[in-house]
């Protein structure tokens, strides 16, 4: 029952993240760190309000690990938003969704997560599918790709810390440290490079905060209740959301390599989940 609940949480988080991605894409003309700044303000206020209302200690217990989670999450978010703004939506999301791979691999060392040998093959399939899905897109520079991969590594680190804190910290406390450490970094940049949002920009910036807050909450609940490698693999389904939104909203065209990549990713997800079910 607990595993089923964690899967539901992750699927809902994936949908909310996908809607957030669309909003970030719509404000591509606004500097990345400024978008991060607005997203962090919303998250900080919302998290703090709920924590105080429920009388939960804001700073938590393991402040060292919470700080590390906040820093890793900050770097992961900046890189993620950057790729979303600078390259096609579907390609950006496929690069960002390398994070489940790094989550599972880092989980071996951080939370002593055990993997069956065959799962490494499935993860390799998923990574191959991601790059195939990218379809040798010449619109993606080497720098953009490296930023996206680095972002995925930091996200994987953040997710493992979330799992490590599951017995000592409330999900909202973990979420609170994220914007608390991100705001000073983004705030300094905004003071020096402010660009005034116009018209609907304000709506999209608000929606980014709302969708992200909901997604972060359900993702955190999922990682605190489930096997890391099993739940992490469900993140790959977010690629499908990106393909649908990219096609219908941003008119992004895909080639045969992209569709083959989709098939490989979905197959690897199904095989990985099935393997963990047998193992458990």
In whole numbers, what is the pLDDT of the chain averaged over residues? 85
pLDDT at 71: 94
CB 18 within 8 A of CB 245: yes
- The residue to which tokens 């402010």 are assigned: 194
What is the per-residue pLDDT across 43-87, written as a single tens digit (0 to 9) for each?
Answer: 899 889 989 999 999 999 899 999 999 999 999 999 999 999 998
Q: What is the pLDDT averaged over residues 105-112? A: 85
> What's the pTM?
0.83
- Backbone phi, psi, residue 170, to 5°: -75, 140
- Three-class secondary structure of residue 266 per DSSP: helix
C-alpha distances (whole Å) from 167 to each of 2, 36, 150, 162, 210 are 15, 29, 28, 10, 27
- Listing DSSP states for 61-86 in one string gives S-HHHHHHHHHHHHHHHHHHHHHHHH
Residues 6+ apart with CB under 8 A from 279: 116
Helices (H), 194-227: 201-225
* 216 vs 28: which has the higher pLDDT: 28
């Amino acid at each position: 029952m607990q595993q089923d609940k964690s899967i539901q949480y992750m699927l809902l988080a994936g949908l909310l993240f996908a809607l957030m991605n669309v909003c970030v894409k719509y404000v591509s003309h606004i500097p990345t760190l400024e978008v991060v700044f607005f997203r962090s303000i919303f998250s900080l206020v919302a998290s703090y309000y709920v924590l105080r209302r429920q009388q939960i200690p804001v700073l938590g217990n393991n402040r060292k690990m919470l700080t590390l989670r906040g820093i890793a999450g900050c770097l992961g978010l900046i890189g993620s938003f950057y790729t979303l703004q600078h390259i096609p939506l579907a390609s950006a999301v496929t690069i960002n969704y390398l994070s489940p791979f790094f989550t599972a691999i880092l989980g071996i060392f951080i939370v002593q997560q055990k993997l069956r040998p065959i799962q490494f093959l499935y993860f390799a399939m998923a990574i191959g599918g991601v790059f195939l899905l990218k379809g040798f897109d010449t619109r993606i520079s080497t720098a953009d790709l490296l930023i996206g991969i680095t972002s995925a590594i930091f996200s994987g680190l953040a997710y493992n810390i979330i799992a490590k804190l599951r017995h000592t910290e409330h999900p909202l406390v973990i979420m609170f440290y994220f914007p608390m450490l991100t705001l000073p970094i983004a705030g300094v940049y905004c003071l020096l490079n402010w660009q005034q949002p116009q018209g609907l920009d304000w709506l999209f910036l608000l929606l980014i905060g709302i969708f992200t807050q909901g997604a972060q909450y359900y993702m955190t609940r999922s990682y605190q209740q489930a096997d890391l490698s099993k739940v992490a693999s469900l993140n790959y389904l977010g690629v499908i959301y990106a393909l649908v939104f990219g096609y219908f909203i941003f008119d992004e065209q895909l080639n045969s390599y992209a569709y083959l990549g989709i098939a490989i990713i979905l197959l690897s997800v199904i095989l990985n989940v099935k393997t963990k079910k047998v193992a458990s």
